[in-house]
Amino acid sequence: MPKTGLRRASSREGIRGYVFVRSLGQGIAARQAQGAERAMSDLALASPSQTASAEAVYALRTVLATLILTVGFVSLTPYASIYTGDAGGNILNQLGYGLLALIVMVGHLVFTERRVARALLRPSWVLLLGWLALSSLQTADPADTFRGVVFAGISMLAVTGALCLPPDGRSLRIALGFAVMTALVMSYAGVFIWPSLGRHVGDVHAGLWRGIYSHKNVAGAAMAVFFFAGVYLFRMKSHMIGLLIMLLSAVFILRTGSKTSLGLTIIVFVVVMSAHVSKVRAAPVIVALLALLGAAYFTIGTVLFSFSREIVQAIAPGTSFTGRLELWRMALGAMEGHGWTGYGHGAFWTLANLIHQEIPMEFSWDPRGAVNAHEGYLDIALSVGWPGLILALWVLVGAPLKSYLHVAPGRESTRLADFFLMSLLFLLLNAMLESFFFERANSLWVMTFFVVAGLNLLGRFRTD
């Protein structure tokens, strides 16, 4: 069996880069250009030991990808009832993600085609991680901050294995379906078997479902991504499992009480699928950009622009985005004097820093008790400054959307790209009210990087 399931596309195929070749027969990889006849000939000539070896490698790569996605979607600390910020300092997370990253590194060396591996090291990603690392030098505890950046990079490395280890599209679908179903089964078990773990208890959200996640809003966002995964599996003829995932995810979203997740799930699904109605490939990208700009203007924009604030208050008088407006005012005020450099990765929300922040007397509560800004983009600016935010916006928004436009024709490639885009657009919109970017142990960040890296690869390679 070849070292990788990728090969260069012929000029007749009209695309650049490499394409995944589906394993034929009992797992023997055959070049698509050589045709099915040559593949069947190879199959006939293969010895039983070669066939068994090919099957074993196929199974191993699928199992490893499944393990990575399952850990990423479920986390190593499910049912955590209290969120205290980036949980990456947990020794279990450090050891677990470190071991996964080591496995993935070995997997890349053995299985991943070198040009594909190099494609993962996009200059913009390397620059952004370097920027985060440099930001640690100005914090009160540089060693601890730098360690956080390192573990963020380790978790990102681990996630790449879920994209590169599967030998073909079928293998990726197996891994995705198993990981999603595991998260769903565990979440429903928490709700019905251990309700004290799977539901909110003793707070303002008492009775609402959160499953294996720390909060109903996190659960709602994760279930939205699972719903899109179900749509993808259904479109790829895995009808039963696809429908089951869609149904279980939709019901769970309803029971979280998260109207934002429910509304965004419907909107994002319609936006992305519109490409297949309008026949204009760029349609969902254009609408996605407009949606992101509009969401920013009418959320954090209400702190910056009076006209935006007036519109929001006219539509919903007294709106404070659950206290976020005062939180955002404090954070934006703290950016004065730190606009170029920020405070370092996650350093702003430490007690040592917050104690020096002044709170205006007119505030109805003290935002210094918050663990983050509940606005992902603002938290990036607090970490690396406004220039760093611009780079992050290219990495998280610009580059993936550009890659979506360059996805080569083909049922597997285009439908996988639709799944990635639906998930990414939802998560980017959700980040207007939540913070999870670069939180290495946060399942929503794992999902975000999974779909961002997936779109970047699909923009250069094709899977069949």
Q: Which residue is listed with tokens 């049922």?
A: 411
What is the residue extent of each domain of the chain?
48-295+374-462
Helix H or strand E segment including 454: helix 443-458
According to the 3-state scheme, what is the secondary structure of 403-429?
Answer: HHHCCCCCHHHHHHHHHHHHHHHHHHH
CA distance 374 to 338: 19
Q: How far is CA 100 from the centre of its chain?
A: 17
CA distance 33 to 31: 5
According to the 3-state scheme, what is the secondary structure of 23-58?
Answer: EECCCEECCHHHHHHHHHHHHHHCCHHHHHHHHHHH
**pTM of the shown model:** 0.87
CA distance 415 to 229: 10
* CB-CB neighbours of 406 under 10 Å: 16
Tell me which DSSP letter residue 1 carries: -
Q: How far is CA 190 from the centre of its chain?
A: 23
Longest dimension (CA), the chain: 81
Identify the three-state secondary structure at position 80.
Answer: coil
Identify the three-state secondary structure at position 6.
Answer: strand
Nearest Cα neighbor of 156 from 458, 463, 461, 437 is: 437
Nearest Cα neighbor of 135 from 435, 343, 338, 380 is: 343
Q: Are 128 and 391 in contact (CB under 8 A)?
A: yes
| pLDDT tens digits in sequence order for the chain, 464 residues long | 334 443 333 333 333 333 333 332 333 333 333 444 444 444 345 566 677 788 899 999 999 999 999 999 999 889 886 655 554 557 787 888 889 999 999 999 998 888 888 888 889 999 999 999 888 888 878 888 888 888 889 989 999 999 999 999 999 999 999 999 999 999 999 999 999 999 998 888 889 999 999 999 999 999 999 999 999 999 999 999 999 999 999 999 999 998 889 999 999 999 888 877 777 888 899 999 999 999 999 999 999 999 999 999 999 888 888 889 989 999 998 898 888 889 988 888 887 788 877 777 777 777 787 888 999 999 999 999 999 999 999 999 999 999 999 998 888 889 999 999 999 999 999 999 999 999 888 999 999 999 999 999 998 876 66
Q: Are 73 and 178 in contact (CB under 8 A)?
A: no
Nearest Cα neighbor of 58 from 159, 162, 169, 166 is: 166
**pLDDT value at position 162?**
93
**pLDDT value at position 3?**
40
